[in-house]
Structure 1
């Protein structure tokens, strides 16, 4: 028989007999219902099918015939580790306030940086699947982190996810910094660290908060009261004019589903900060850290407005983190909702009395409040369109394979005003890095740095407490 399509004098594959032997009942594998349901609903496909002809082939064409005469559905992961030369150069610039406020000429800078604990980087390798191995090396990352910090020359540094404190303190000591450290409770080995310039600040009081003592998990926070000498020439003078300043440093619980615990941790820190501020003559405050909450979240509203009715929100969505997958943010993933997700959204997670107490501090009160009136330095100082969102906050301060968004902030009280901030990086540039850390950044977060000025007379806060 001659094939009309290929003019072959031999039997063509399309006319070759196909094996139609039915598989035995014992060879069929019973699959659960949800296997077929998810294949049909999400992927519009049947389970994988393979077929082959019984046409004889010679050895020279066996490999090609197998590829053309057989078919099977396979999953393919297109993600690959980027090459070292593919990472764009990172440039960050200072952005000054539009109208410099009428404030004291005394200025100080504060940096906040989640530096990605070495142990966390090792335990969560799936978050950095597109990052070259050399970029994850701690020795390389610690040098980059310290180079960044020393280059920006902040007066006070607040770090989160620190598990190699002495590696950092030894390097920062050469630049004139002293430091303190508080490790998390429980099985975690990382914690919070604070550094300050020894020639400009004197530590008056330091306090560490273990949230475990409040039943709020193993996270920790730091509070420090500093005295800033007016001039170094009169440093030894007892009556030298000076200012006092309260600095807070926190790493809030990550778990997005435990929004009530996040609220409890923030509320507890701010309450203690208020007490310390009053103790030291109403010292102005800067509260820095990784708050694990986005600018569009209910927790951000709590931070900026001082109160929140928790019953208006699903506690699992208080932080806004679950809407920040890179594919969603970049518009690469088509939004769809499964029946289970739709039902989950319709049935809001009910608050128990214990959860209300954790969030608000009282079982009978649905309103969470904190005593401080705070503003975000980055939301106050306008940045470029490519780096800021609608409310003025950075579009992203953290980027890895499962998150692209903002969770880091520098909050300040009314007695301080930000005069400039170190702008962040545009989404376009971050996207081209493929994920952090990268060539010029040693963490999966971006450091925030802000310069502040006082708005109160010099003698405020002096001799309030001896």
Structure 2
């Protein structure tokens, strides 16, 4: 599958994009506040360009939004997107997807699959993990379509062990500049058992321009692999402690401001870290439980892959929200096994081994705002 037209979208960014990776010493603090100087681009036009590049690939799985309640004009929705996009260096050099052709992982086209997914759902807040092309791809391009971003790399990213890597992977958080004002950003290195770990988180405090309401949003990626359940639980506990402090500092009331936490937790719902979040004093709820008939069950999977060790289908990704601060208006449905296909993920029609999670939230009206 050639990509003869795959330079069209990025030709408009040729002044700033480079195929060379950033020096490994460059950190997020040097570029977090930088904004692209390009004119605003039309997201719909860029989406069409992505579709043109990908015209020879199978279409992405169709997914419908399942509405849970009616929103009101006085309480606008906030669309949240959570996605582990699969670091390019790991996909090509470490993860060993035995049923995925290497051609399907070619960055020259795979980046368009990622961008097509983002531009299709047009989230107001975008939370990503395994981002190793932040500075040369996502930050400049998403800035052009109205997003402001922040990136926190892993201190010892496994991407750096791969030849010809593009630098460390990490978490990235983007938000619509039109919808929100940034009040503050914290970059956290998670601890476990009194030790600093290789996992990180970003916490942004945003003020909604439509409603004047303030909330915090966090993105994280916990330790992977079986056998590390206690470690993940400790990381989750540390993150919850930090979130409680940050939210309380921003709020005018003792309970603090509402919170959204997105992440690849690398943990099934029966793990302790999941139970910690569900029982947290922050009163968090998982948005995707609203898809179940009982409202208490997560999807059957958010990741489905085949490696040399065998096939793995697991629920690892979550969008947590303050149940006293937000209501869930709609949730993007999960694709079927038939849509995913027998070779699982990633594939020619889907760029990551994790599915994106997308939900529409709205603020619960505070009593004094109803008067």
Please confirm whether the aligned pair reaches a TM-score higher than 0.5, indicating the same fold: yes
Shift of 1:193: 0.3
Summarize the alignment of residues 280-299 of structure 1 with structure 2, pairs less than 5 Å apart.
280-281=250-251, 282-299=256-273
Q: CA–CA distance in 2 between the matches of 1:191 and 1:280?
A: 26
Cα deviation for residue 278 of structure 1 reads 1.1
- Aligned ranges for residues 99-110 of structure 1 at < 5 Å? 99-100=69-70, 105-110=75-80
**1:217 to 2:197 alignment:** yes
**CA gap 1:103/1:265 in 2 versus in 1, 3 angstroms:** farther
Q: Counterparts in 2 of 1:43-442, with a 5 A limit?
A: 90-97=61-68, 99-100=69-70, 105-126=75-96, 128-166=97-135, 167-188=137-158, 189-211=168-190, 214-230=194-210, 242-281=212-251, 282-306=256-280, 371-382=281-292, 391-402=296-307, 403-414=312-323, 415-430=325-340, 432-442=341-351
8 Å contact from structure 1 (residues 216, 264) kept in 2: no
Q: Distance between the aligned counterparts of 1:390 and 1:420, measured in 2?
A: 13
Q: Tell me the distance in 1 between the aligned counterparts of 2:303 and 2:196.
A: 24
Size of the alignment, in residue pairs? 295
Distance 2:175 2:352 in 1: 21
Structure whose CA Rg is larger: 1
Contiguous gaps of at least 5 residues in structure 2: 1-55, 159-167
What's the CA shift string for 1:379-411, capped at 9, x where partnerless?
Answer: 02448xxxxx99432211111114211100000
Return closer, same or farther for 1:135/1:375 CA change in 2, 3 Å cut-off. Answer: same
Secondary structure, aligned partner of 1:392: coil
Question: In 2, Cα distance between the equivalents of 1:290 and 1:438?
Answer: 20
2:5 aligned residue? none
Distance 1:86 1:280, change over 3 A: closer
Deviation at 1:373, TM superposition (A): 1.1
1:178/1:198 contact within 8 Å kept: yes
Displacement of 1:158 in angstroms is: 0.4
The CA distance in 1 between the partners of 2:337 and 2:205, in whole Å, is 36
Q: TM-score, normalised by structure 1?
A: 0.59
Deviation at 1:200, TM superposition (A): 1.2
* Offset, 1:116: 0.5
Higher helix share: 1
Kindly state the Cα deviation for residue 157 of structure 1 after the two structures are TM-superposed: 0.3
Q: Which residue number in structure 2 is paired with residue 310 of structure 1?
A: none
The alpha-carbon deviation at position 457 of structure 1 amounts to 2.7
Query: Which secondary structure does the structure 1 equivalent of 2:328 belong to?
Result: strand
CA–CA distance in structure 2, aligned partners of residues 221 and 458 of structure 1: 33
Distance 1:107 1:205, change over 3 A: same
Native 8 Å contact 1:223 1:248 kept in 2: yes
